[in-house]
Structure 1
Amino acid sequence: MQEYKRGSHTVWDCKYHLVWVTKYRYPILAGDVGQRARELLREI
C-alpha cells in the first residue's frame, strides 16, 4: 500500500517529474553518457 504524508488536516503524496531540455533540443545525452545520467537522476 502506498504511504501518504499526513498533516493535522491534510493527506498528501508529492511526486516530482523532471524534464531536462538542452538548448534547441539537441540530443546531447546519448549512449553511455545518457544511460549514466538517467541512473544518477533516478537515485535522487
Structure 2
Amino acid sequence: MNYDLIKLFYGWKVLQPAIEWYVQHGFIDADQYKEITGKDYVVPTK
C-alpha cells in the first residue's frame, strides 16, 4: 500500500491494521505519520 492510499483510508476511518503498523513495517515514515495524523510517532517499547 502506498502513502496516498494510507492517507485516504485513514481519513475515511477504514484503515486496517492501525496506522502505526504501516510505520513499523516501512510503508510510511515518522514524518508521513505526523502529516497524516497530526501527532508525533512514538516508537513502541516492549
Name the TM-score, length of structure 1 as normaliser.
0.26
Name the TM-score, length of structure 2 as normaliser.
0.26
Decide which structure has greater helix share. Answer: 2
Decide which structure has greater strand share. Answer: 1
Larger RCO (CA under 8 A, 6+ residues apart):
2
